[in-house]
Structure 1
Amino acid sequence: MEIDILIEAPAWDAVALEELAQTAAEATLRELALEPEHFALSVLACDDARIAVLNAEFRGKQTPTNVLSWPATDCASAIAGQMPDLPAPDPVGPPEEIGDIALAFETCAREADEAGKTLPHHLSHLIVHGVLHCLGFDHETDPDAALMEGLETRILARLGVPDPY
């Protein structure tokens, strides 16, 4: 998988984000029977101040959050709890861009600490979560949440990350 990471906040230097993002994103694609080498993703590693601006601009919420995602295409299913229409890239073409995710260091670190999780485990979960959003998964309804959370739990288990729920 081709992952472009832009690190805007120096706190991220203490984290092996490139490795975590690659491992979590590829595991997500493999769980969905998608070949990672055919896909691309952009990741913004920022701070709470930057993600608060993005959250306000794109979601109308004036607070920081842990992860935001912007799918490149709308793959969501019209039926709650059903699989999205997953992308089918050209195997000989360039990698298909699935979208962008942004992570806020302070919020992620605080949440991990409050939940008694390691930061790498929490970040792995948030990357899996963000990639699933980029692929059309959501958690707005109970059936959608059950589908998405079930996938997250299975993917994270394969990575040796405890069930986040």
Structure 2
Amino acid sequence: MISFNSETDFHLANEDAISKWISETIVAENYKLEEISYVFCDDEYLHKLNVEFLGHDTLTDIISFDYSVGKIIHGEIFISTERVADNAKDYQVSFEEELNRVIIHGVLHYCGYKDKTESEAKVMRAKENHYLSLIT
């Protein structure tokens, strides 16, 4: 099950299509979906989580909490729509494209992909681009 929630007035368009796309990505990566809860929020909300749970006093666009066991995906993904909007401007892409990239980025972390090193980030970006090309 995939749920979309918001701590602001943000509402995700095309929830059914996005859910289907996320589910198909998980299957393609040979994982099974149990539950992912997305929470859309602002910078202040996500910054507080970043400080409290990760000890990072910085702004970020996404924080994921992974409760998966083996190949069964279960987690919470918090996304700052303010950060996504700023990043979309910086990268000169639409808000929707950047939001979809962040949405699938969290899922790819659950599927075992990392992005701490340059080589890991390159693989992550290639996977993001691949799955972004499949969204309908």
User: Smaller-chain TM-score range?
Assistant: 0.7 to 0.9
Q: Does 1:48 align with 2:47?
A: no
CA distance in 2, matches of 1:40, 1:27: 14
Give 2:28's aligned residue: 31
CA distance in 2, matches of 1:20, 1:104: 21
Give the AA of the match of 1:111: N
Give 2:64's aligned residue: 69
Q: Does 1:22 align with 2:39?
A: no
CA deviations over 1:72-115 (Å, ceiling 9, x no partner): 137xxxxxxxxxxx60xxxxxxxx55211000111111211232
Give 1 or 2 for the bigger CA radius of gyration.
1
Q: TM-score, normalised by structure 2?
A: 0.84
1:119 to 95, 111, 114: 95
Cα drift, residue 25 of structure 1: 1.6
Q: Does 1:5 align with 2:4?
A: yes
Could you say which structure has the higher strand fraction?
A: 2
Q: Does 1:145 align with 2:121?
A: yes
Cα drift, residue 30 of structure 1: 3.4
Q: How many residue pairs get matched?
A: 136
Structure 1 portions without partners, runs of 5+: 75-85, 88-95, 161-165
Tell me: higher relative CO, structure 1 or 2? Use CA pairs within 8 A at least 6 residues apart: 1
Cα drift, residue 138 of structure 1: 0.9
CA deviations over 1:4-56 (Å, ceiling 9, x no partner): 2221111x13x416346414422421331445xx4320111111110000111
The 3-state SS of whatever aligns with 1:120 is helix
Give 1:110's aligned residue: 86
Cα drift, residue 134 of structure 1: 2.1
Structure 2 portions without partners, runs of 5+: none
- Give aligned-pair identity as a percent: 26
CA distance in 1, matches of 2:45, 2:131: 29
Q: CA RMSD in A?
A: 2.3
The 3-state SS of whatever aligns with 1:63 is coil
The 3-state SS of whatever aligns with 2:65 is strand
Q: TM-score, normalised by structure 1?
A: 0.71
The 3-state SS of whatever aligns with 2:36 is strand
